[in-house]
Amino acid sequence: MGAITIALTAAATVACGGSGEPAPPADQPTPGDQSVTFESGGKTRSYTVHAPPGYDGKTALPLVVVMHYRPGTAADAAQTSGMNAKADLENFLVVYPQGLNDAYNALICCGTEDDVGFIRAVVTRMREYWKADPKRVYATGISNGADMSFKLAVEAPGLFAAIAPVSGGFTGDIALRDPAYKPRTPVSVITFLGGKDRVAGQLGAGIDAWQLRLGCAVAPVPQQIPLPRGITLTAGACADGSEVRVYRLPEMGHAWPGTERGGLVDPNAGLNATDLMWEFFRAHTG
């Protein structure tokens, strides 16, 4: 209740401005959930922050940016990913940017907004006001949000150490046809692709193009205990020093594997993407 009150008070202060003086930042760092609005690209944009119970506003913590599907909301992204509970266990910050008209201007969809600029501004605010560690900033998302993760890896160099697209991909004309469209700084990737996804072919072609463009080795990863439901994992190092890990889930559709609540979830997928991506993120720094 306190976090909500702080968020509403901060938003009202920013909206009113107050006696011609510069308004204080909307962000009021505190444990729990807080919604923030600010101006980006001439429009009012918003995001939701989740800080773990032990957050003190002084210690630099990792930051995970989680992006929703289309049409979707910051709240949808939080529920589908289950990332808040993971953040509470592992002591990191989470931010959920809200797309205009419930979508992001990603690789093949949607709109014309400068969402790269918007999310860069969100991360900057998280670093400045919430003390997010600039060397441990990560991005994930599902569907439209997953596509946006790839776009950010290319168009926001130096911002993210790793990304974790779920049921989304490196797709569209610019991604597949322009050999210069690739990260200028190393960004490691862990991704989860469903074999029964309606766009499985496109997503597979996209990750293949990414690996080829970055000169990544691709090899099966032996498992001491075989992965369930026919799941396979390939991985390899890339020429720029990044790493790519690809989980293929032949029985999964367009979903986030392993979580139980929200839209586009598959609790019976055979693995938990949230757990696996956090292990991957923890092993990569910028």
Tens digit of pLDDT at every position of the chain (286 positions): 333 333 333 333 333 334 444 555 689 899 999 999 999 999 999 999 999 999 999 999 999 999 999 999 999 999 999 999 999 999 999 999 999 999 999 999 999 999 999 999 999 999 999 999 999 999 999 999 999 999 999 999 999 999 999 999 999 999 999 999 999 999 999 999 999 999 999 999 999 999 999 999 999 999 989 999 999 999 999 999 999 999 999 999 999 999 999 999 999 999 999 999 999 999 999 8
What burial letters (b/e) apply to 102-117, b meaning 16+ CB within 10 Å? bbbbbbbebeebbbbe
Bridge-based pairing of strands 188-194 and 162-166 is parallel
DSSP-based three-state secondary structure for 141: strand
Q: For residue 136, what are its two tokens?
A: 């441990």
CA angle 114, 81, 231 (to 5 degrees): 110
Global pTM reads 0.91
Q: For residue 221, what are its two tokens?
A: 């990863």
For domain 2-282, give the CATH number.
3.40.50.1820
